[in-house]
Chain A
Amino acid sequence: MDNRNKSFYEMLKQDAAKEENKSGEMKLDDIARVKVLSPGRQVFKRFVRNRLAVFGACLLIVMFVFSFLGPLVYPYGQKQIFYKYDAQNVNYALAKENSTYNGYVLDSSFEVERSVNNLMNSSIKRMLEDGKKETYIFGDEVWHVEERAEEVYVLSLTDSRQICVTGSGKLTVGNFDTISGKLNYSSAEVEGLEEAAAAANMKGSGGSFTYDGVTYDYARSGGKSYDITTELSGVNYSAEAPGEGFEQAMEKAVGKDDCFEFGGSDYAIMKDGQRYYVYSVENDRAAKVFTRLTFDLFEPGNSVSDEMRVGALMNTDGSFTADGREWTAADEDGLLIIRGDDGKEFAEMNTFSIRRYSGADTVEYDLKKAITETVEQMQDEGNKTAELVYRLPQQSETGEYAYDEDGSLLYQDTELHITQRDTGEYVINCDQIIYVIDRFAGPSIKHVLGTDGDGFDVMSRIMYGGRVSLMVGFVVVFIEVLIGVIMGGLAGYYGGWVDNLIMRLVDIFYCLPSLPIMIILGAMMDALRLDTRVRLLVMMATLGVLGWASVARLVRGQILSLREQEFMVAAEATGIKVKDRIFRHLVPNVMPQLIVIATMGMGSVIIMESTLSYLGLGVKHPLATWGTIINSVSSASAMAHYAHIWIPVGLLICVTVIAFNFVGDGMRDAYDPKSKG
């Protein structure tokens, strides 16, 4: 139809042109004086005359360029996370008085018992309390702890032998097996006791028997064996008595000390309840050295090897060799300083350790001294906090250290805050420039609309979001129109029961509340944890299916009237197939109205999509749509503080929908100036 019209108008125009050429001047009724336009151009002209519609069309073009071409030239992606360097108050260092004794292995040929190792801290502390220089720890073996120098304690393994038991209480004599009739002594052997025990005919859970004037108790220890105990009295030797006067020496020590000397050899006393076990100890073999001292290096870059550490601890006032070098350690003005063979200070050993908060020992010696002094001052004054200004390496804006021409670090006065924690540690805070995600940055040249809570650039999110939002609009409207045209075309053309059936279907879909259904569907997809792209597809399909009814109603109405017109009679007379009659002859005549309803529909679909995404029931977070961008700042506090994110997006939604409505309105007026709005 369009083609025919065109050729007709073309003919008219050609005629007019001929006329003009012939005469050269124009008559009053000349056909060329009346400007003849094709219907398409006429519609276009009417559309262009409508200022609002043109404005809307321009907005739409801008919006499409912005959303679909913008990301191509815009430097940032939609999921690109931005970082920044920011001065933040960080925990710079941690200072504390060392409270535990750390052990360093001296002789690795044998192992220290774990229980003994664990007892070291408390043993050393008890030694300090009692003012003793040495003590013994009793594990499977007897271990000797000796103060070697101030804060340095050496743990040695001894060759020990139990000499005797004294005190009061029960003494376990041994274990008697009633089947074999053997007595395993755990203390001194008593002659004839084995026979006596066998004669006692032990039964039940326990009992007693007398032998040699001593009462022995027995108690079942398991199966057919019995533990035999007796009341302890006097000194009960389990080995040969060391000699005259031993018992006097022992009695002097028992209960007060845990060791004594007799006849040139050492004896250790183990207390167990009321009983005292006496061991002879000899041949100390140093196993570990324990200390609270830590090394403060003068050059932070150096490190301390175990060999060096052990050497220094064992020779706190003298020289030693470690790592192939000669070192001297000496007490200089109350500081324990280690110097290398060139006489240069290498490290100081003290019990107040200052480390970077991460635990690394990279704090400069001078800073350590300064912090130590400040802490001492704090302790004197009883303060919990103190401040200290010290020169720390200067940081550039990008968090890197600055160097001068010679390549040495530049320094900058930095304020350090020292705070004592309840645990007794001192935390040193200062401002440092560190690399963080640039969250909620305000608008700047780099980020026109700032960044959002994930460090994404809002502008690029809006561009990519526009793609999805506009695409949703197109797809949904396409589905609506497709179903609507087919259903409406069939209903309008056939009429009768087909029409009746389809129109009832239309009524049902008209009545279905689409927002509640979309909300239910969104909650459903939440529960299924669907991927956000799948959600997008499901959402588009559902919106399309829910929205076809109005299109079908419109198409049916138009076709009902068109069906009766002459060209349809002609089409029927020429025997054109029914399918072609509907979709090639009837539907194209509904095109103008369809385009109008589709354009207006785009707006409402965009609103629907953004509403659902805003509620968190549509498209989900990492995928950007206009709704999700607003949703990301929808909490009350975010809404109040980050208006630069949601206001532009909201306005964009508004402007786009307005543009679609203006264009749709303008097109309707252009197609049919007499139509009702």
Chain B
Amino acid sequence: MLKFTVKRLLYSVLILFFVMFLIYVLMYNMPMGYIETKARELASRPGATKSYAEWLSDLNAQYGMDKGVVQGYFVWLSSAVRGQWGDSWAWTVPVTQEFRSTVWFSFALGLVSFILEIIIAIPLGITAARKQYSFSDYFTTVVSMICISMPTFFLATLLKYVFSVKLGWFDLTGMQSRNYMFLSGFGKALDLAKHFVLPAITLTVVSIGSLMRYTRTNMLEVLNSDYIRTARAKGVDEHKVIYKHAFRNTLIPLVTMLGGSLPGLFSGALITETLFGIRGIGNASYSSMTQADVPFVMFYLAFISILTLLGNLISDLLYAAVDPRVRLS
């Protein structure tokens, strides 16, 4: 187990190294990026003493972009490993500070939708599997398919149209109402929560479909297995068969999958946050990406790559931990 974990960790580091290199090459070659814009601005100021080209080379040197791609990457890597992620160009604060101020909004949003997803999807999936080919099965299949096929931006726009424009229940975007400053502490929290309703619904609906299908498929597989037939043959109460014998075994893949997606709660929802104006890490990184804010984008992409690799590792380890039949080699 330990050997496996260490091996996987080492592999992950290797993969991360190359992933970040590819991303660095992309960011390094980004034309009309932040530095070019800044140099143009400085050179066109009244009384500017340096030309655009001079400013450009100065700024490149200052921001450490004057080295070649490979050397620049290693410089970035060495400081990143030491925890120095630099200052964000777009947000004009240290990258880690911007990260700390945004990530918890993302996490809250992710957690709420994660819990909702589990509460809704797993029971529905089990119901569908219990009565295969029944109406409820078809219904669940179709609903989950619709949820999977729904583009996030369309769902978000639809929700905004119905609940914000037509019904006027929620604000179109943003995290605070106009009277936020005059609310009490509890009122502020409620106000914030109210602004998270539509994004949370969006995220839940978009992610609910695959979990529902996953639960149904695995439940079906378990229900078709021999020990369930045996249990039924013994005359065990159907309720007990489903929720004790079958569900516990279905939990193995479910826990593996859900455990693997736990780190993803921190990664932020890029499109949902941007569309609803939630100041989460996804929104912040979207702004940074469109402004070629190299330090923040590099940090964010490294962050979500690590989360992905961590998720894979967790799900593998959980698989072994939950299912005693599995031995990792």
Contacts and interface: CB of A to CB of B under 8 A. Distances in A.
B15 A508 contact: yes
B169 to A, nearest CB: 14
B182 interface: no
Contacts of A519: 270, 286, 289-290
20 contacts: A511-B19, A516-B304, A519-B270, A520-B30, A523-B290, A524-B26, A524-B29, A527-B32, A610-B151, A610-B154, A615-B153, A617-B290, A630-B153, A639-B161, A650-B157, A650-B158, A654-B150, A654-B151, A654-B154, A677-B217
B146 A527 contact: no
A524 B291 CA distance: 9
B22 A658 contact: no
B165 A640 contact: yes
Interface residues of A, number: 44
Nearest to A506: B15
A653 B149 CA distance: 8
A397 to B, nearest CB: 33
Contacts of B305: 511-513
Nearest to A606: B151
B207 to A, nearest CB: 14
B95 to A, nearest CB: 15
B27 to A, nearest CB: 7
B103 to A, nearest CB: 16
A603 interface: yes
Interface string B281-318: 00001100111100001001100110011000000000
Interface string A647-677: 1001001100110011001000000000011
Contacts of A636: 172-173
Interface of A: 52, 504, 507-508, 510-513, 515-517, 519-521, 523-524, 526-528, 603, 607, 610-611, 614-615, 617, 630, 634, 636, 639-640, 643, 646-647, 650, 653-654, 657-658, 661-662, 665, 676-677
B154 A650 contact: yes
B141 interface: yes
B142 interface: yes
B33 interface: yes
Given A52-B142, A508-B18, A611-B152, A524 B31 contact: yes
A528 B31 contact: yes
A661 B138 CA distance: 14
A636 B156 CA distance: 12
Given A607-B151, A658-B146, A512 B32 contact: no
Given A630-B157, A654-B151, A504 B14 contact: yes
Contacts of A603: 148-149
B11 interface: yes
Contacts of B297: 516, 520
Contacts of B29: 524
Contacts of A654: 146, 149-151, 154
Contacts of B141: 52
A630 B271 CA distance: 15
Contacts of A665: 145
Given A607-B149, A658-B145, A661-B148, A513 B301 contact: yes
A661 B161 contact: no
B195 interface: no
A38 to B, nearest CB: 27
Given A511-B15, A639-B160, A639-B161, A527 B26 contact: no
- Grouping DSSP codes into helix (H, G, I), strand (E, B) and loop, the B interface class, with mixed when no group exceeds half, is helix
Contacts of A607: 149, 151
Contacts of B27: 520
Closest 8 CB pairs of A and B: A527-B32, A657-B149, A650-B154, A677-B217, A658-B149, A640-B165, A523-B290, A614-B153
Nearest to B285: A516
Contacts of B289: 516, 519-520, 523
Nearest to A616: B290
A504 B308 CA distance: 15
A643 B161 contact: yes
Given A523-B290, A639-B160, A665-B145, 19 more contacts: A510-B308, A515-B270, A519-B289, A520-B30, A523-B291, A524-B29, A524-B31, A611-B152, A615-B271, A630-B153, A640-B165, A647-B161, A650-B157, A654-B154, A658-B145, A658-B149, A661-B148, A676-B221, A677-B214
A653 B154 contact: yes
Contacts of B160: 639
A572 to B, nearest CB: 29
By CB atoms of chain A within 10 A, which of B26, B154, B157 has the most?
B154
B151 A516 contact: no
Nearest to A513: B304
Nearest to A656: B149
By CB atoms of chain B within 10 A, which of A507, A510, A647 has the most?
A507
Contacts of B30: 520, 523-524, 527
Contacts of A661: 145, 148-149
Contacts of A634: 157
Given A513-B305, A520-B26, A658-B146, A528 B290 contact: no
Nearest to A633: B157
Interface string B252-287: 000000000000000000110010000000000110
Interface in B130-145: 138, 141-142, 145
A607 B213 CA distance: 19
Contacts of B150: 654
Contact of B271 (A527, A611, A658, A676): A611
B152 to A, nearest CB: 7
A676 B218 CA distance: 8
By CB atoms of chain A within 10 A, which of B172, B290, B304 has the most?
B290
Contacts of B216: 677
B26 A52 contact: no
Nearest to A505: B18
A143 B26 CA distance: 79
A603 B173 CA distance: 29
Nearest to A657: B149
By CB atoms of chain B within 10 A, which of A603, A607, A646, A665 has the most?
A607
B23 A52 contact: no
A668 to B, nearest CB: 11
Contacts of B26: 517, 520-521, 524
Nearest to A520: B289
A448 B31 CA distance: 43
Interface in B98-157: 138, 141-142, 145-146, 148-154, 157
Contact of B151 (A507, A617, A650): A650
B41 to A, nearest CB: 15
Nearest to A529: B32
Contacts of B80: none
Given A524-B31, A528-B32, A650-B154, A52 B138 contact: yes
Nearest to A608: B151
B321 interface: no
A647 B301 contact: no
B16 interface: yes
B168 to A, nearest CB: 11
A512 B148 contact: no
Contacts of A639: 157, 160-161, 165
B290 to A, nearest CB: 5
B148 A507 contact: no
